[in-house]
Amino acid sequence: MYRRKIEEIFHSWINDASHKPLVVKGVRQCGKTSSVLDFATKHFKNVVYLDFRMHPDYKRFFIPNLDVDSIIMRITASLPNAQISPGNTCFIFDEIQDCPQARSSLKYFHLDGRYEVICTGSLLGVHGYKSPNNDDDESWSVPVGFEDIVEMYPMCFEEWLWANGIGENHVDYLRNCLSGEIPVDEAIHSRFRELLHQYAIVGGMPEVVTTFLTTKQIGKTLSVQRRIIDDYKTDMIKYASASDKSRIRECFESIPNQLAREYKKFTYSVVRPGARGRDYEGSLQWIEDAGIIHRCYNTTITELPLDGNRIRNEFKVYMADIGLLVSMLEDGTQASILEGNLLTYKGAIFENLVADIFGKMGRKLYYYHKDGGVELDFLIRYKGECTPVECKARTGNSKSLQTVLSHPEKYHVNQALKLGDYNVGRDGQKLTLPMYMAFLLTGL
Q: Is 70 exceeded by the pLDDT of residue 36? A: yes
Specify the pLDDT at position 132. 46
Q: Is 60 exceeded by the pLDDT of residue 251? A: yes
pLDDT average, residue stretch 88-92: 98
Q: Is 50 exceeded by the pLDDT of residue 375? A: yes
Given a contact cutoff of 8 angstroms between Cβ atoms, the answer to whether 323 and 225 are in contact is: yes
Specify the pLDDT at position 242. 86
Which pLDDT band, with edges at 50, 70 and 90, does 140 fall under?
A: low
pLDDT in tens, 46-76: 999 999 999 999 999 999 999 999 999 999 9
pLDDT in tens, 337-346: 888 776 667 6
Burial of 223 per CB tally in 10 Å (0-12, 13-18, 19+):
middle
Indicate the range of 128-132, 169-173, 259-263, 278-282 predicted with least confidence: 128-132
Q: Is 60 exceeded by the pLDDT of residue 136? A: no
Q: What are phi and psi of 420, to 5 degrees?
A: -170, -165
pLDDT average, residue stretch 235-263: 92
Average pLDDT, the chain: 93
Q: What's the one-letter identity of residue 241?
A: S
Domain boundaries, the chain: 6-151, 157-440
Indicate the range of 29-38, 386-395, 400-409 predicted with least confidence: 386-395
Q: Is 60 exceeded by the pLDDT of residue 384? A: yes
Residue 111 to residues 67, 100, 106, 107, Cα–Cα distance (Å) = 11, 18, 9, 6
Q: Is 80 exceeded by the pLDDT of residue 129? A: no
Given a contact cutoff of 8 angstroms between Cβ atoms, the answer to whether 298 and 310 are in contact is: yes
Indicate the range of 225-239, 275-289, 306-320, 392-406 predicted with least confidence: 392-406
Nearest to 440 by CA among 183, 199, 172: 172
> Any residues with CB less than 8 A from the CB of 310 and at least 6 apart, and which?
297, 298, 299, 300, 366
Between CA 92 and CA 259 the distance in angstroms is: 39
Specify the pLDDT at position 130. 46
Q: What is the dihedral of CA 138, 139, 140, 141, to 10 degrees?
A: 90
Write the CATH number of the domain with boundaries 6-151: 3.40.50
Nearest to 252 by CA among 281, 287, 224: 287
Given a contact cutoff of 8 angstroms between Cβ atoms, the answer to whether 123 and 147 are in contact is: no
pLDDT average, residue stretch 40-44: 97
Specify the pLDDT at position 90. 98
Q: Is 90 exceeded by the pLDDT of residue 293? A: yes
pLDDT average, residue stretch 425-429: 94
pLDDT in tens, 264-281: 999 999 999 999 999 999
SS3 assignment for the chain: CCCCCHHHHHHHHHHCCCCCCEEEECCCCCCHHHHHHHHHHHHCCEEEEEECCCCHHHHHHHCCCCCHHHHHHHHHHHCCCCCCCCCCEEEEEECHHHCHHHHHHHHHHHHHCCCEEEEEECCHHHHCCCCCCCHHHHHCCCCCCCCEEEECCCCCHHHHHHHCCCCHHHHHHHHHHHHHCCCCCHHHHHHHHHHHHHHHHHCCCHHHHHHHHHHCCHHHHHHHHHHHHHHHHHHHHHHCCCCCHHHHHHHHHCHHHHHCCCCCECCHHHHCCCCCHHHHHHHHHHHHHCCCEEEEEEECCCCCCCHHHEEEEEEEEEECCHHHHHHCCCCCHHHHHHCCCCCCHHHHHHHHHHHHHHHHCCCCEEEEECCCCCEECEEEEECCEEEEEECCCCCCCCHHHHHHHHCHHHHCCCCEEEEECCCCEEECCEEEEEHHHHHHCCCC
Given a contact cutoff of 8 angstroms between Cβ atoms, the answer to whether 119 and 93 are in contact is: yes
User: What's the angle, vertex CA 257, arms to CA 160 and CA 441, rounded to 5?
Assistant: 35
Between CA 60 and CA 71 the distance in angstroms is: 9
pLDDT average, residue stretch 328-336: 90
pLDDT average, residue stretch 80-94: 97
Specify the pLDDT at position 128. 43
Between CA 406 and CA 87 the distance in angstroms is: 63
Specify the pLDDT at position 247. 95
Between CA 134 and CA 130 the distance in angstroms is: 7
Specify the pLDDT at position 135. 43
pLDDT average, residue stretch 355-383: 95
Given a contact cutoff of 8 angstroms between Cβ atoms, the answer to whether 254 and 271 are in contact is: yes
How are beta strands 22-25 and 116-121 bridged, if at all? parallel
Burial of 186 per CB tally in 10 Å (0-12, 13-18, 19+):
exposed
pLDDT average, residue stretch 295-309: 97
Specify the pLDDT at position 325. 97
Given a contact cutoff of 8 angstroms between Cβ atoms, the answer to whether 305 and 292 are in contact is: no
pLDDT above 90 coverage of the chain, percent? 85
pLDDT average, residue stretch 241-267: 93
